Amino acid sequence: MQTTTPEQKQPMNGIKLWCIVDTGLLKVIQWFVYLGIFAAAVVLILSVVDIIFAKAFNIGIPGVTNIVEELNVVIIFSTIAYVQLGNEHMRITLVDMYLSKTRKHILDLVSHFLGIIVSGFFTWRTLVMLEKMIETHEYKSGGIVFPLWPFGLINFLGFLFLTIAFIRCFCKTAVAGSEK
């Protein structure tokens, strides 16, 4: 017969749940970055092959410009949330180098809050754009015709993950400030 301790009978508290969600979110965003890495490799290979064919045989690969153009969307929007989470974005310290720790903390909170508002707005607008693309069956015209909704979906997911990353950063900054 197996006995249970009081700790095992208690429901999961908010901190444990937050840690599980946070870890899962980080893994999803990291895997989303691999999509951007793959797209960058495809862009590199397509561009090199296109240049070689154009110079050696006077024949370029049709539609490469269109494909590279759309893959740039994948590269950018699959990595922006990861950059935000890693705090790897460019920061101009000229503004806050003379501020006290409290004012820097307030500035960080305000900037994360503005990031939530702006990226949340863009998330909503890209969702509207994605719905329109799916309803109208929008296609990219040019050498190769292909549907645009997968790239709209990546655009939407990129902004969604960025909004979540800003929320995470805001919460971590707020908690760090309350512990001081």
Tens-place pLDDT, residues 110-166: 989 999 999 999 999 999 999 999 999 888 776 677 888 888 899 999 999 999 989
Query: So what's the pLDDT on residue 23?
Result: 84
pLDDT surpasses 60 at 4:
no
Q: What DSSP assignment string belongs to 44-101?
A: HHHHHHHHHHHHHHS-PPTTHHHHHHHHHHHHHHTTHHHHHHTT-S---TTTTTTS-H
Tens-place pLDDT, residues 48-63: 999 998 888 888 888 8
Query: So what's the pLDDT on residue 159?
Result: 93
How big is the CA angle at 156 (ends 151 and 160), to the nearest 5 degrees? 145
pLDDT tier, 103 (very low <50, low <70, confident <90, very high otherwise): confident
The rounded Cα 94 to chain-centroid distance in angstroms is 27
